[in-house]
Structure 1
Amino acid sequence: MTFLESIDFENLPSIPDYYRGKTVFMTGGTGFLGKVLIEKLLYSCPDLDRIYLLLRPKKGMNPEQRLSAIYASNCFDRLREERPNIFESKVFFIAGDCGELRLGLSEEDRALLINRTHIIYHAAASVRFDDPLKASVKLNLRGTIEMIELANHVQNLECFVHVSTSYANTNRNLIEEVMYPAHDNWRELLNICEDIDDHTLNVLTPKYIGGMPNTYVFVKQLAEHVVYEQKGKLPVVITRPSVVVASISEPVPGWMGNFNGPIGLIIASSKGILHTVYGDPKITADYIPVDVAIKSFVVASWIRGTKKLEKTDDVPIYNTCNGSMGFRVTNEEIFLLGHDTIASYPLDNMIWSVGGTITSNKSIHYIKILLLHVLPALFLDTLLWIFGKKTMVLKIQRRIYSANVALQLFLTKEWTFSNKNYLSLRSKIKEVDKQHFFYIMENIDIREYFKDAIIGARRYLLHEKDENLPKARVHYKRVTLLDKIVRTLFYSYIFWKVIHTNFVRNLFVNVL
């Protein structure tokens, strides 16, 4: 339960009015969700005072350079056009690291955040499923602990939004908006990761995480308990996005920030490097467009932030997912929709024709891996080696295989997500705010959505130019024709070999 029923919404300020003059502190600002959240706040709540982003040095870039790189993203094209200079005047970095004690903050920056912050979004996380347990604990658990510790000192804190995942309780078939018993004691886990050497911990990890599929979901569920323990002490909110996919409309249709999710599979198959995926073709995964998720984050912070904290307040939990809203598409349909769209919007420099099927038969899957992934990769790498180029195709195929293994549970099992609180949340949006913050998925045209998503992937992930489409279409026709020729020759050869076997010869002799 939440406290939505007890609030007098008529007397609440609008969402932009609530954010007027407020200071936001955010982790995860460099990520997919983080960028869209920054853009949405600046675009729809332009009178907020400022946004502080926790940034650490990475890949030879200092925090200031990383802040510039964030704004260079296509995600902020709408801001540059309609609200020029707002990013530079309202977004600032705070040097630190979620994986460090006290977030790696200087005393000056810590004091700044304690004195100025009103709203905190904790969205930083390592979403790699194959992270060692110690690495996942360092960012996904330790980071949450340090953020909560900081929040307890913030003088004017009105809301703390913790971004979790709908898949934190994959050991259940029905996942509701409640706090389930912890998989383990998070304090003991923290001590174990600090006391045991890396090798021993890696050996023990499968037994330690029990029935959970990977370290990510295991640790994220424990991090929820770190937040939930602040019930009645801090104005906390837990949001659980499912599989976050390309935007419906904001900041532009089809915007996306990574290759995760179904679009990554479509892109790989459309480049001609992915031809088989192990999974159940008939199951339906739960997808949430990024702009739908972000709108609900902002609405949740508005409702929590406008209510005075009381000791009896429970922690609102929102399964930020499709649930029963109608955005339903099977694994098999994703490939079919992708292939149909790619025929009109092909990718540049396709290695082979568009392929890719999903199968639940492991034997067929491994045969296809050998014939369609490994052998062609060895052939292409040999050609690259002969011409003095860097070999890479087999390495790419290894990554694809590893990704498929990590995703197997999510491609072969279906969960039921209850999102009653999430739907109730949108019903509380004031009329004046609906244009900017109301989220709906019931009327999405699935075919049009995937078309926008693939076009968005071309532009924003692969950085392919629209003016290259005519050339890409010509190349698409060539490789498609070549694929048909090769297939015809291959099956003709197989047919020729079969009819010349002794068994077939004897069969014809007996029949005649």
Structure 2
Amino acid sequence: MTFLEDRDLDGVPTIPEYYRGKTIFITGGTGFMGKVLLEKLLYSCSDLDRIYLLLRPKKGVKPENRLAALYASPCYDRLRRERPGVFESKVYFVAGDCSEIGLGLSEEDRTLIVNRTQIIFHVAASVRFDDPLKVAANLNLRGTREMIELAKEVQNLECFVHVSTTYCNTNRDPIEEILYPPLADWRETLEICESLDDKTVNILSPKYLGEMPNTYVFTKQLAEHVVNEQRGKLPIVIIRPSVVISSYEEPMPGWIENFNGPVGILVASGKGILRTLYCNPVVTADYIPVDVAIRGFIAASWIRGTKKFEPMDDIPIYHSCASSLNQITTGEIFDVGHKIIATYPLDDIIMGGGGSITDSKFIYSTKVILLHVLPALLIDTLLWICGKKTMVLKIQRRIYSANCALAYYLTQQWSFSNQNFIYLRSKLKDEDKEQFYYEIKKIDRQEFYKHSCIGARRYLLKEKDEDLPKARAHYNRVMLFDKLITCLFYGCLLWWVLRSQFLSNVIDKFL
């Protein structure tokens, strides 16, 4: 346990009371977790003073337009319905970029944050596994350094929440809620990335990463040490979520806006474009619903913020993960997904929903050619003949690349301790449990993944619920066609065996 929980909380305010009148600064507010964090704070702690989001221009879209687009997200449907006007009156932006020196903040905006902020959530990160080391280091490592430099200037800082990942120490097993030795010197890493050209850094990267599988986890591990250097100087909390997936309850069941984790597998399989996956079917991956993770973020900030900071204070680390409380193997995800997709099929599926998983590289490669590449070539040829844009082979190339990038995680298993995370929720006051207690063990997996599939239809694929009867009819036709093709294939194979000399030779040998 950590020192933060071992204290009498009788006189401590509830979470909404603690947040009343507070000013919060959030990076990564337009990302998946950032959106849900923003929504939950506004919904359950509506008396907070204001929230500042660090926004950068993106693809020519100005920060003010990005803020408007953010509020238009379905993630805020509940907020618009039950807390009208809260977002518009409480949420502001400051223009900047985590990958830039000084966060790209103007002098005026920096002064604003320094003088007004009490709570900081550093959520922004580059989560792409295939980012070059320079790109990942700029955002995940230098960005964290720049956030710490800002936090050191903040006049009334009560809590700095740094979001890391449980997978930043995959060279170990089990993985505890402690800080492990750095994989490299973070200052030296930044100096290399800033002084050498891109080509040289890319050549050096594989050796430099060592045991780590990609630049994401490598730079996130080093970023924890940037934060840890402020132990005893700043009120910091480190939270390590595992694979963050669709919501369990809030802001609505099944909310999702990316294809990460099992949802991507279910969607690709349900569309008929994923027929095989390289994976160990008995491996248990660790998934955490996004709203469960966010409740933990807020609880951690509350318990740190309500304690007066002292130089002897440690930096608590929380694994926001399911651990042994609610496990599911990849094989079980496939089985559950097949049943759900049959009831809630996706629109315009290409092939019958299904697919299989294997931990044999030979079988996987063979199936990729037979079940992915050849059908994709056939469909793209038909699209080309019809004068339409070819796309299936391109999609299959992306699926193959994604499977290669994820193979490290899909074929291995780690044990994550989450004792601190579970103990933290036990310290919630009775008045806060309805809004902030995070359930893990009692989550019904069948019901959860059903909502995940429905959420994928609505929020990722933009498919309408009223089109479900049409989708079911199309699904039944495709499945019937799939069975006919399968019967025809095995029928032809049987006919060839019966007509071939091979069968006669076998019979003669044994008679």
Q: Structure 1 383/5 Cα, relative in aligned 2: closer, same or farther at 3 Å?
A: closer
2:217 maps to a residue whose letter is: V
Structure 2 residue identity aligned to 1:123:
V
> Structure 1 stretch 196-205 or stretch 124-133: which is displaced more?
196-205
Aligned residue for 1:3?
Answer: 3
State the one-letter code of the partner of 1:283.
V
Match of 1:468, SS?
helix
Matched, 1:233 2:233: yes
Question: Does the Cα contact within 8 Å between 2:130 and 2:215 map onto a contact in 1?
Answer: yes
Report the secondary structure of 1:160's partner residue. Answer: strand
Shift of 1:405: 0.6
Query: What residue number does 2:485 align with?
Result: 486
1:426 correspondence with 2:421: no
C-alpha distance after superposition, 1:149-193 (max 9, x if no partner): 000001111100000000000000110010000000000000000
Alignment of 1:94-493 (within 5 A): 94-325=94-325, 327-493=326-492
Whichever residue aligns with residue 491 of structure 1, its letter is Y
Report what 2:55 is aligned to: 55
Q: Which residue of 1 aligns with 2:89?
A: 89
**1: CA distance, partners of 2:405 / 2:305:** 38
User: What is the distance in 2 between the residues matched to 1:15 and 1:508?
Assistant: 79
Match of 1:288, SS state, is strand
TM-score, normalised via structure 2 length: 0.99
Quote the Cα distance in structure 1 between the aligned partners of 2:205 and 2:148: 26
Aligned AA for 2:138?
K
CA distance in 2 between counterparts of 1:502 and 1:203 reads 56
Structure-2 change in CA distance of 1:511 and 1:324 (3 Å): closer
SS of 1:9's partner is: coil
CA distance, structure 2, for counterparts of residue 480 and residue 387 of structure 1: 24
- 1:28-67: per-residue Cα shift (whole Å, max 9, x none)? 1111100000000000000000111101111221111111
Secondary structure at 2:168 match in 1: helix
Say what the alpha-carbon RMSD is for the aligned residues: 1.1
State how far apart, in whole Å, the 1-side matches of 2:158 and 2:312 are: 16
**Normalised TM-score (structure 1):** 0.98
State the Cα deviation string for residues 190-235 of structure 1 (Å, max 9, x = none): 0000111111211111111001111100110000100111101011
Q: 1:503: how far off?
A: 2.0
Are the counterparts in 2 of residues 4 and 425 from structure 1 also a CA contact under 8 Å? no
In structure 2, distance between residues paired with 1:329 and 1:316: 28
Which ranges in structure 2 are unaligned for 5 or more consecutive residues?
none
Contact residue 4 and residue 304 of structure 2 kept, 8 A:
no
Q: Which amino acid aligns with 1:7?
A: R
Give me the whole-angstrom Cα distance separating, in 2, the residues matched to 1:257 and 1:236. Answer: 29
SS at match of 1:237: strand
| Distance in 1 between residues matched to 2:368 and 2:505, nearest whole Å | 35
1:510 Cα offset (Å): 5.9
Could you tell me how far apart the structure 2 residues matched to 1:90 and 1:356 are? 47
Secondary structure of residue in 2 paired with 1:3:
coil
Q: Which amino acid aligns with 2:160?
A: F
- Distance in 2 between residues matched to 1:344 and 1:451, nearest whole Å: 9
- SS where residue 403 of structure 2 aligns? helix
Q: Answer whether contact 2:5 2:424 (CA < 8 A) is retained.
A: no
2:499 is equivalent to residue 497 of structure 1 = no
C-alpha separation in 2, matches of 1:240 and 1:251 = 22
In structure 2, C-alpha distance between the alignment counterparts of 1:385 and 1:259, rounded to whole Å: 28
SS at match of 1:34: helix
1:326-382 Cα shifts (integer Å, max 9, x gaps):
x11110000110110011100011111102211111111001000010111111111
Moved more, 338-347 or 195-204: 195-204
Letter in 1 for 2:81: E
The amino acid across from 1:66 in the alignment is R
- Measure how far apart 1:509 and its partner are: 5.1
Q: Deviations over 1:278-308 (max 9, x none)?
A: 0100111111111110001000000111111
Supply the distance in 1 between the matched residues of 2:361 and 2:479 (Cα, whole angstroms). 27
Tell me, what secondary structure is at the counterpart of 1:270? helix
After superposition, the Cα gap between the structure-2 partners of 1:390 and 1:5, relative to the gap in structure 1 and judged at 3 Å, is: closer
- Residue segments in structure 1 that go unaligned for 5+ positions in a row: none
Q: Which amino acid aligns with 1:307?
A: K
Distance in 1 between residues matched to 2:66 and 2:492, nearest whole Å: 56
Per the TM alignment, residue 443 of structure 1 is displaced from its structure 2 partner at its CA by 1.0
> What's the secondary structure of 2:357's corresponding residue?
strand
**Kept in 1: contact 2:43–2:83 (CA 8 A):** yes
Q: Partner amino acid for 1:276?
A: T
Residue 387 of structure 1, CA deviation? 2.0
Relative distance call for 1:489 and 1:19 in structure 2 (3 A) is: same
Moved more, 499-508 or 370-379: 499-508
Secondary structure of 1:24's aligned partner: strand
Distance in 1 between residues matched to 2:257 and 2:17, nearest whole Å? 29
- 1:43 maps to what in 2? 43
Give the counterpart letter for 2:43 in structure 1: Y
5 Å-filtered alignment, 1:62-73, equals: 62-73=62-73
- Taking the aligned partners of 1:88 and 1:185, their CA distance within structure 2 comes to 43
Percent identical pairs in the alignment equals 65
SS in 1 for 2:10: helix
CA distance in 1, matches of 2:74, 2:25: 23
2:5 and 2:427 in contact (8 A); partners too: no
- Measured in 2, the distance between the counterparts of 1:494 and 1:203 equals 49
Q: Larger deviation: 353-362 or 466-475?
A: 353-362
Task: Please identify, of 491-500 and 168-177, the stretch whose mean Cα deviation from structure 2 is larger.
Answer: 491-500
Distance in 2 (CA, whole Å) between partners of 1:25 and 1:511 is 80
SS at match of 1:53: strand
Aligned length: 511
Aligned amino acid, residue 271 of structure 1: K
Is the CA contact (8 Å cut-off) linking 2:244 and 2:288 kept in structure 1? yes
Map Cα deviations across residues 42-95 of structure 1 (whole Å, 9 max, x no partner).
000000001111011112211111111111111111001100111111111111
**Residues 511 and 310 of structure 1: CA distance in aligned 2, closer, same or farther (over 3 Å):** closer
Task: Give the AA of the match of 1:394.
Answer: L
What amino acid maps onto 1:446 in structure 2?
Answer: R
How far 1:5 moved relative to its partner? 4.2
Alpha-carbon offset, residue 501 of structure 1: 2.4
Query: Which 10-residue stretch deviates more, 497-506 or 198-207?
Result: 497-506
Q: What letter is aligned with 2:150?
A: L
Aligned residue type for 1:53: L
